[in-house]
Amino acid sequence: MNIISKILSIILIIIFSTLIAILFGICHNQISFSISNELFEKYFFFQFGTSEWNITNPRINAAIVGFLGTYWLGFYFGLIYSVIFLFLKTSNNLKYIFNSIVINFSFALIGSLLGYFIAILFFDLENVSFKVANRYY
């Protein structure tokens, strides 16, 4: 594999990893918003500054928070996967890297869904309070 194809593969890995992380952040925040919209409306929207953007749909606002909270992590994971890619000595190393990114995303999504179902089954979501920065909401 020549240098140009390795560089293009590294860029592709970083972009793919970042996009998968963004997709996860958006999906995760939609699940979390279903459990506790108050956490988003009273904390996350202000923390990420999206409360000042005049977005009327809180689901879109939660998706933007998910984007802002995860794109950078996907970039860093892409860098790590790129280093691993450089040291793989197989013929299908790009395929293996993409498969590992999808597997990581799948396990994270499954864990989030399990947390959602545990919250639905075992907690009274109407009467849950949470503590952020020494204040109860």
Q: What is the pLDDT of residues 106-124, one digit of tens each?
A: 898 898 889 878 877 887 7
Q: Is 129 exposed, middle or buried (0-12, 13-18, 19+ CB in 10 A)?
A: exposed
Q: Contact 67/22 with Cβ under 8 angstroms?
A: yes
pLDDT recorded at residue 92: 78
How sure is the predictor about 133, in pLDDT bands with cuts at 50, 70 and 90?
Answer: low
Region 12-18: what's the mean pLDDT?
94
Q: Is 103 exposed, middle or buried (0-12, 13-18, 19+ CB in 10 A)?
A: exposed
- pLDDT tens digits for range 36-78: 788 888 888 888 888 888 888 989 999 999 999 999 999 999 9
Mean pLDDT computed over every residue of the chain: 85
pLDDT recorded at residue 8: 92
How sure is the predictor about 134, in pLDDT bands with cuts at 50, 70 and 90?
Answer: low
